[in-house]
A and B are shown apart, each in its own frame.
Chain A
Amino acid sequence: MKLARRIISCLDTDGARVVKGVKFGGLRDAGDPAKLAARYNAEGADELVVLDIAASRDRRPTFLETIRRVACELAIPLTAGGGIRTLEEARSVVRAGADKVTVNTAAVERPELISELSGELGTQAVVLAIDAKFEAATNQWDVRVRGGREPANLDALAWAQRAVELGAGEILLTSMDRDGTQAGFDVALTSAASRAVSVPVIASGGAKTPQHFAEIFSAGAADAALAASIFHDSLQSIRILKEFLASQNIEVRLPC
């Protein structure tokens, strides 16, 4: 008996609607978050992530309402985030029905935020999101912040380790080099991160085919793999994906 590798579906929202972006760029509407959540719950997704990529203050109540609507549709765990800067904001996201919160830019700017969140919510509820981009000049993966627009001048692997020391219970690692390309997950980045930290690592960015998932679980040592658009557009059924992974002797929770 082994812990199953998780397939996580991600909903990027503008607060109220699911939007789809390519390479952290242009957006288009991809549907109602509650409807998509219900579909993924039924199809056998192991977890759902809802991100507010607009993350503007005035839309915050809208996003909390979205979390409530999504949570009502789920019998699986829900992670929510996007623009969380304080413990109070994290609490409101949890009260709205999220099991875990994800933080990104605010944690880079003030790493103690991670300790504050894990101190109250528990480490299992704190997911550090890292947007990483390979820099050939330094031969390392750099952390990017503000939706990938700005360099943080941090080595992604060192930042992941520091965050775990501070109380992060999971790393959601997005490869900016792969995101939106559908060229496959970043195996080198994910396996390096997975070996660098003691907590689970969720691989994100670049998924298209079932082979991409098999590869990130085996060679990439990912504990979970996340995708958005291939599931929204029904390019990939979660059920068929999991059946394929099971046929490759990868432990997955097959939906009944």
Chain B
Amino acid sequence: MSVAAFAIIDYGAGNVPSVEQALKKLAVDSRRVTQPGELDHANAIILPGVGHYAAIIRALDQHNLRSALLGAIASGIPFLGICLGLQALYTSSEEAPAVCGLNLLQGSVCSLPRSVKLPHMGWNRLRVRRPSTLLKGLSETDYFYFAHTFAAATETPEVVATCDHGVSFTAVIEHNNICATQFHPEKSGAAGARLLQNFVSLVR
């Protein structure tokens, strides 16, 4: 069974094809969105992201997607941010201090400490803080693929799971219809597919 289209915000990030393919394997139709009007009829919205914080925020603003995205999220459409797509939800990032994030979550995104190898690159496990839909059927023994240097602090109540690399940081967010992962579920094997399936279940 196929559900109606998921909108993948395509601002030129490299991982859009991977996300499309991961959804296809779950029998979910998706389409790439580059214009604000295209978000109107989305059943769910995914904001993938790799690269620089300034690039994702500027791209959203250049395509006039910021207000449409905020409107869609406010209307209750399930949203999944991946990697930079998680960081974009915050007020700002140390990576680009002059740039204003989406400000849906309070707090700042900071560099992981220099005491460990950066980027935090590879497979790591989670510390689960509370039960969530996204992590249903998954546990602290599952590995997920991370590739990032900056990360969000863990104090906020929206944090469902954290990860450690030199410091504890936010790995999974679930707050009403706002979901996000610092890792790449589309690149995280069977565990990642399960997480995406859990997100899809929020839509049905």
The proximity string for B residues 94-119 relative to A, scoring 1 for CB distances below 8 Å and 0 otherwise, is: 00000000000000000000100111
Q: Is B187 an interface residue when CB atoms closer than 8 A count as contact?
A: yes
Q: Give the residue of A6, A120, A170, A198 whose beta carbon is less than 8 angstroms from that of B114.
A: A198
Q: Is A199 an interface residue when CB atoms closer than 8 A count as contact?
A: yes
- For residue A195, give the distance in angstroms from its CB to the closest CB of chain B: 11
Residues of B49-65 at the interface with A, using a CB-CB cut-off of 8 Å, are 50-52, 55
Residues of A68-126 at the interface with B, using a CB-CB cut-off of 8 Å, are 71-72, 74-77, 94-99, 119-125
In the bound complex, do residue B50 and residue A223 qualify as a contact, i.e. CB atoms below 8 Å apart? no
Chain B interfacial residues counted at CB < 8 A: 41
In the bound complex, do residue A125 and residue B51 qualify as a contact, i.e. CB atoms below 8 Å apart? yes
- For residue A183, give the distance in angstroms from its CB to the closest CB of chain B: 26
A to B CB contacts below 8 Å, 12 in the list: A1-B125, A1-B127, A2-B124, A76-B145, A95-B14, A119-B52, A121-B14, A125-B14, A199-B118, A199-B119, A223-B121, A223-B122
Complex Cα distance A255/B186, Å? Answer: 17
Evaluate whether A99 and B147 lie within 8 angstroms (CB atoms) in the complex, with A75-B22, A198-B117, A199-B117 already known.
yes
Binds A, one of B30-38, B74-82, B189-197: B189-197
Consensus secondary structure, chain B interface: mixed
Q: Is B66 an interface residue when CB atoms closer than 8 A count as contact?
A: no
Complex Cα distance A239/B25, Å? Answer: 24
In the bound complex, do residue B143 and residue A4 qualify as a contact, i.e. CB atoms below 8 Å apart? yes
Evaluate whether A46 and B114 lie within 8 angstroms (CB atoms) in the complex, with A76-B189, A121-B51 already known.
no
The proximity string for A residues 2-23 relative to B, scoring 1 for CB distances below 8 Å and 0 otherwise, is: 1111100000000000000000
- For residue A42, give the distance in angstroms from its CB to the closest CB of chain B: 10
In the bound complex, do residue A95 and residue B50 qualify as a contact, i.e. CB atoms below 8 Å apart? no
Name the residue of chain A whose CB is nearest to the CB of B15. A99
Residues of B109-162 at the interface with A, using a CB-CB cut-off of 8 Å, are 114, 117-127, 140, 143, 145-149
Q: Is A214 an interface residue when CB atoms closer than 8 A count as contact?
A: no
Contacts of B165 in A (CB 8 A): 3
Contacts of B140 in A (CB 8 A): 1
Q: Is A184 an interface residue when CB atoms closer than 8 A count as contact?
A: no
User: What is the interface of chain A, defined by CB distance below 8 A to chain B?
Assistant: 1-6, 41, 46, 71-72, 74-77, 94-99, 119-125, 169-170, 198-200, 223-224, 253, 255-256
Evaluate whether A253 and B14 lie within 8 angstroms (CB atoms) in the complex, with A3-B122, A75-B187, A121-B50 already known.
no
- For residue B47, give the distance in angstroms from its CB to the closest CB of chain A: 16
Closest 7 CB pairs of A and B: A122-B51, A253-B143, A124-B147, A94-B14, A4-B123, A253-B123, A124-B119
User: What is the interface of chain B, defined by CB distance below 8 A to chain A?
Assistant: 14-15, 17-18, 21-22, 25, 50-52, 55, 114, 117-127, 140, 143, 145-149, 163-165, 184, 186-190, 192-193
Which of A3, A4, A5, A199 neighbours the largest number of chain B CB atoms within 10 Å of its CB?
A3
Which of B119, B122, B124, B146 neighbours the largest number of chain A CB atoms within 10 Å of its CB?
B122
Q: Give the residue of A41, A95, A198 whose beta carbon is less than 8 angstroms from that of B17.
A: A95
In the bound complex, do residue B21 and residue A76 qualify as a contact, i.e. CB atoms below 8 Å apart? no
Contacts of B147 in A (CB 8 A): 77, 99, 124-125
Complex Cα distance A75/B22, Å? Answer: 8
In the bound complex, do residue B124 and residue A3 qualify as a contact, i.e. CB atoms below 8 Å apart? yes
Contacts of B118 in A (CB 8 A): 198-199
Evaluate whether A169 and B121 lie within 8 angstroms (CB atoms) in the complex, with A1-B163, A4-B143, A76-B145 already known.
yes
Contacts of A6 in B (CB 8 A): 122-123
- For residue B2, give the distance in angstroms from its CB to the closest CB of chain A: 19
Complex Cα distance A124/B13, Å? Answer: 13
Contacts of B126 in A (CB 8 A): 1
Contacts of B190 in A (CB 8 A): 75, 256
Contacts of B52 in A (CB 8 A): 119, 122
Contacts of B184 in A (CB 8 A): 77
Name the residue of chain A whose CB is nearest to the CB of B25. A75
- For residue A186, give the distance in angstroms from its CB to the closest CB of chain B: 19
In the bound complex, do residue A97 and residue B119 qualify as a contact, i.e. CB atoms below 8 Å apart? no
- For residue B23, give the distance in angstroms from its CB to the closest CB of chain A: 12
Complex Cα distance A125/B12, Å? Answer: 14
Contacts of A122 in B (CB 8 A): 50-52
In the bound complex, do residue B21 and residue A71 qualify as a contact, i.e. CB atoms below 8 Å apart? yes
